[in-house]
Amino acid sequence: MSAIETTYREALRQALIDAMNEDPDIVVLGEEVGLYGGAYGVTKGLIDQFGPERILDTPISEAAIVGAAVGAAMSGLRPVAELMYVDFVGIVMDQLANQAAKIRYMFGGQIGVPMVLRSQGGTGRSAAAQHSQSLEAWMAHVPGLRLAMPATVNDAYHLLRHALTLPDPVVFLEHKGLYVQKGTLDTAQPDAPWGKAVVRRAGHDLTIVTYSKMLLESLAAAEQLAAQGVSAEVIDLRTLNPLDEETVANSVRRTHRAMVVTEAHLTGGFSAELSARIHESCFDHLEEPVARVAGEDIPIPVSPPLERNAVPNAQLITETGLWLVQRKAPAWAL
């Protein structure tokens, strides 16, 4: 397939189709993944192509879905388990954190859990407090879990394809606001190898480190900053485990200023981990402390205006960048 314009959703779907055609051990299971085609349409039509033995509609039990996936993976299959919302991951944390993440270590490498847990999170659809969270920090805290959060159409395809070759369990988090995002898919050319960050925009005054949908807001902010004479470098992490610290550190040592942008809540979020690592590796190069731009420490509101203001946007990122580089006080500091 040559490079084509498609959506994030269709790139994920194509990744599943291509992987399942190549590997007969791949099965998909979850609520409404078969006849309905998935809550966000990623698995639409797959049951017609691969049949109900490989595309399995499950009972409404997240614990059963992930528990079955762990057992299937230990028994020789490569399951793709779908959680309709990442908010439900609390129901499966025993299976995920205490079983899937630890089996290969506890069995001395003799048996593993090569499964992918697909889920989605984030704001943008007024889905309210129980269906709009960004909980990647929960998974990132567990050794043994790989964690991917693609922001682009090409990464949606290639990161999922690679995740379906790994010996370890992969948590693959998609942002609900990206499914209709269009972009170029080149099935022959990934943006970068698995585990490597990508510099999406080069700059020399400031490094912005981000991932998932906040990449779009950060790139928009970089355009606004450029109009005011500030050159911002934007780094898309793509995977949080493995984490590419080298690309981030090399950038910050050149720009001497860093900002971390996440949709997840500020307190205890992955932004704190990133900030700490930048300080540890780049302390002597920093002109200013690392700035964190993150979601408010509140449950996500259902009201669209309140929801929009509960998470970072391009304007807030721009104001923070100007404050870091030019010491121009942002609106939130006045």
- Of the candidates 217, 58, 28, 193, the one whose C-alpha atom is nearest the C-alpha of residue 122 is 217
Q: Tell whether 173 and 207 lie within a shared domain.
A: no
Say whether both 48 and 181 belong to one domain: yes
* Active-site choice (31, 62, 136, 174): 62
Mean pLDDT value across residues 142-165: 98
2-36 as b/e: b if 16+ CB within 10 A: eeeebbbbbbbbbbbebbbeeeeebbbbbbebbee
Average pLDDT on 69-90 reads 97
In a domain, 62, yes or no: yes
- Whether 156 and 257 share a structural domain: no
What are the phi and psi torsion angles at 288 (to 5°)?
Answer: -140, 155
* 62 classed as catalytic: yes
| 1 pLDDT higher than 90 | no
Residues with Cβ within 8 Å of 67's Cβ and at least 6 positions away in sequence, in order, are 92, 95, 99
Give the number of domains in the chain: 2
Q: Average pLDDT, whole number, for the chain?
A: 96
* 91 part of a folded domain: yes
Both 9 and 151 in a single domain? yes
Q: Does 74 share its domain with 161?
A: yes
Answer yes or no: do 179 and 224 share one domain. Answer: no
pLDDT above 60 (res 334): no
Q: Is 13 within 8 Å of 43 (Cβ atoms)?
A: yes
> In this model, does residue 188 exceed pLDDT 60?
yes
Residues 325 and 230: their CA atoms lie apart, in Å, by: 7
- Contact predicate 1/154, CB 8 Å: no
Do 294 and 315 belong to one domain? yes
Residue 258, in any domain of the structure: yes
Say if 303 falls within a structural domain: yes
- Looking at the DSSP assignment, which residues form a beta bridge with residue 81? 29, 117
pLDDT at res. 6: 98
Q: Give the model's pLDDT for residue 326.
A: 85
Mean pLDDT of 134-142: 97
pLDDT for res 88 = 97
Task: Indicate which residue of 131, 162, 175, 265 is catalytic.
Answer: 131
pLDDT tens figures, 38-77: 999 999 999 999 999 999 999 999 999 999 999 999 999 9
State percent of the chain over pLDDT 70.
98
Residue 333 belongs to some domain of the structure:
no
Q: How far apart are CA 262 and CA 215, in angstroms?
A: 9
Inform me whether the pLDDT recorded for 269 exceeds 80: yes
- Tell me the CATH number at 85: 3.40.50.970
The confidence score (pLDDT) of residue 327 equals 75
> Using one digit for the tens of pLDDT, what is the confidence trace for 158-168?
999 999 999 99
SS (H, E, C) 37-61: CCCCCCCCCHHHHHCCCCEEECCCC
For residue range 297-329, what is the model confidence (pLDDT) as tens digits? 999 999 999 999 999 999 999 999 999 998 766
Mean pLDDT value of segment 229-248 = 98
Q: What is this structure's pTM?
A: 0.96
Task: Give me the CATH number covering residue 263.
Answer: 3.40.50.920
Distance CA 39, CA 58 (A): 13
Whether the per-residue pLDDT at 210 is higher than 90: the answer is yes
pLDDT in the model for residue 2:
72
HSE at residue 83, side-chain half, CA atoms within 13 A, is 29
Quick one: 140 and 276 in the same domain? no
Q: Which domain holds residue 167?
A: 4-185
Looking at the structure, tell me whether residues 108 and 161 fall in a common domain: yes
Let me know if residue 193 belongs to a domain.
Answer: no
Domain end point (choices 134, 150, 185): 185
Mark whether 20 and 134 lie in a shared domain: yes
Q: Which of these three, 185, 220, 247, is where a domain ends? A: 185
User: Tokens representing 279?
Assistant: 């300080």
DSSP 203: -
Alpha carbons 221 and 328: distance in angstroms, whole number? 15
Condensed to tens digits (0 to 9), the pLDDT of residues 96-115 reads 999 999 999 999 999 999 99
Q: Which of 124, 152, 185 is the last residue of a domain?
A: 185
Other CB atoms within a 10 A radius of the CB of residue 130 amount to: 12
